Amino acid sequence: MPKELTPLEKLQLLVPGYRGYKAKDLIRQDDFLVRQATIMKLETAINNLANTESQIVRSQPFSPLLKNIEDTISEIRTLIGILNSTQGGGADIYARYKIYTEQLDEIYKNDLQMVSIADQILSLSNFPDQISQIRTLLANLKTVLLNRAKLFFPPELR
């Protein structure tokens, strides 16, 4: 949740019965921002890899590293697509199953894990010799996304 709340938000947290709704709304907003931050980091990583790729093409047009870079960029684009279309923390308004604040907290923890992995991918994207490590991190990110999707169902259906 944001550290500074507006006076209206503070008041809403004090009103009996409304507190849960406001807490959920703040978690939903954070969830969206975290997913967008992850996407931005992955898009920057794509740009870094594309720049590296163009440098390699100029000096070694038949380098086997080019295919690895291109495959990695493709994987990142796929994950960005998944992140863009993934269910957000606010989806419980229309969802078939009720999502409680505790579940939203778990979703939020998953999102923080996503940002951490995206940070690592971004850091490594400037080093073409780290492609295999980037691919491992992409697999970890995909696992986090799959686990996150399960959180939108009740425990008995997971």
Position 42 in a domain: yes
Residue 24 included in any domain: no
94 SS3 class? coil
Among left, alpha and beta (phi > 0; psi -120 to 50; other), residue 17 is: left
- The reply to whether 11 falls in a domain is no
Query: Does residue 103 belong to any structural domain of this protein?
Result: yes
Does 94 reside within a domain? yes
Q: Does the residue 3 lie in any domain? A: no
Q: Is 4 part of any domain?
A: no
Q: What is the C-alpha to C-alpha distance for residues 112 and 38, in angstroms, rounded to an integer?
A: 9
pLDDT (mean) for 81-91: 73
Question: Containing domain of residue 119, as a range?
Answer: 35-152
Q: Which has the minimum average pLDDT: 13-17, 117-121, 143-147?
A: 13-17
Give the chain's domain count: 1
Average pLDDT over every residue of 142-157: 79
Nearest to 134 by CA among 49, 43, 51: 49
- State pLDDT tens for residues 88-121: 655 544 455 566 667 777 877 888 899 999 999 9
**Is residue 86 a part of any domain in this protein?**
yes
